[in-house]
Amino acid sequence: MSNKIRNGLTRRSMLQASIAGAGAAWAGISFGPKAFADEEAKVNFYNWDTYIGETTLGDFENLTGVEANMSLFADNDELFAKLREGNPGFDVIVPSDTYVARMLAADMLEPLDYSLIPNTKNLNPLFTDAAYDPGRKHSVTYMWGTMGLGVRKSATDGITSWKDVFESDKYAGRIAILSESTAMIGMASMYLGTGMNPTSQADIDAAVDLLIKQKPAFKAIAEDNGQDLLASGEVDVTIEWSGDIGQVMLEDDDIDYVIPKEGSLIWADNLCIPKGAPHPMNAHKFINYILDAQAGALIADYIQYATPNQAARALLNDSYNKNPSVFPPDEVLAKCEWQIYQGEEISRMKDEAWTRFLAA
């Protein structure tokens, strides 16, 4: 989930033109009453790949005079490990739901000052609280979505079940899975009927044993680039985040997104300020900018993830708002499960089990 510029994005370019007057609107954004003059004009953003608008960082810098630098991580495990031993200089990070809870348990996040983030008024009320961060004291939702299958329609025959990925040789050598350990264990566990959040060593081992048995069928364990492998024809099926598949669907009519009948993962990524952030005032300013309606619309349209920003959605057309790969039907979402942070002991069990899969 880099600021990787894609070619031929006519519809997105049209949206940028349609909001050509946004610079004037952004210039009027209130960033709260506190002064920023005593802080270096810089913000360091640690983000997923392909998970920001095409011009967001430059627009923010042009508006505020604050230099926005972005570094990339491949998955939540890398993000957590990078910050566990101390913040190397990041101001804003993008952990997923369970990792917000895990970071809170490890005292790795700063509380937010909502007086500096007035654009939270743009968020759908459904995202103003969360079980993984009660009262939303340390996080605001950036994007949400599902995990499912990106498929090349001409090379597959209507995949409807995880069985075709986890227990079949039908697409052997043409499948990519994600390197996101907890999600992969959860997905295999869900297919086995024990749910997205296995609680016992036996259930975790059963899920990993399934993955090990099927490992010869996997062409790649992708670090968040399964959509590129699918687009290039290197694989015909990939487990990926919904928005990453949505991005390549815009450019290739032969690609589709499927949530199997057994259900899948629903998730939310969040904007947080890590402990030891060197530019906390600019971090709040950056988060507030991301939540602006026009800025949020450009981000959502470019990355094709579901935005929680209802003011941004109002600026986007039906090709986004009624796209089932972005906003699945209620009956499909009803089969999806949230991951839950289950404590460090179960996290350790999953990490060890995933290491066993990688070594197999």
Q: CATH second-level architecture of 145-266+328-359?
A: 3-Layer(aba) Sandwich (3.40)
pLDDT digits (tens, 9 = 90+) for 155-214: 999 999 999 999 999 999 999 999 989 999 999 999 999 999 999 999 999 999 999 999
The DSSP secondary structure of 15-65, one letter per residue, reads: HHHHTTTHHHHHHT----SS--TTS-SEEEEEEETT-S-SSHHHHHHHHH-
The pTM of this model reads 0.83
Asked whether the predicted pLDDT for residue 300 surpasses 90, the reply is yes
DSSP structural state of residue 112: P
Q: Across all residues in the chain, what is the average pLDDT?
A: 90
The DSSP output letter for 181 is H
The yes-or-no answer to whether 10-144+267-321 and 145-266+328-359 have a common fold is yes
Instruction: Give the tens place of pLDDT for each residue, 197-224.
Output: 999 999 999 999 999 999 999 999 998 7
- Tokens 């090709």 locate to 319
> Annotation-wise, does 310 bind a ligand?
no
Number of separate helices (H) and strands (E) present in the chain: 16, 10
For residue 261, give the DSSP letter.
T
Residue 324 has what pLDDT? 87
The CATH class for the domain spanning 10-144+267-321 reads alpha beta
Residue 7 in this model has a pLDDT that exceeds 80:
no
What is the residue extent of each domain of the chain?
Answer: 10-144+267-321, 145-266+328-359
Q: Are 319 and 172 in contact (CB under 8 A)?
A: no
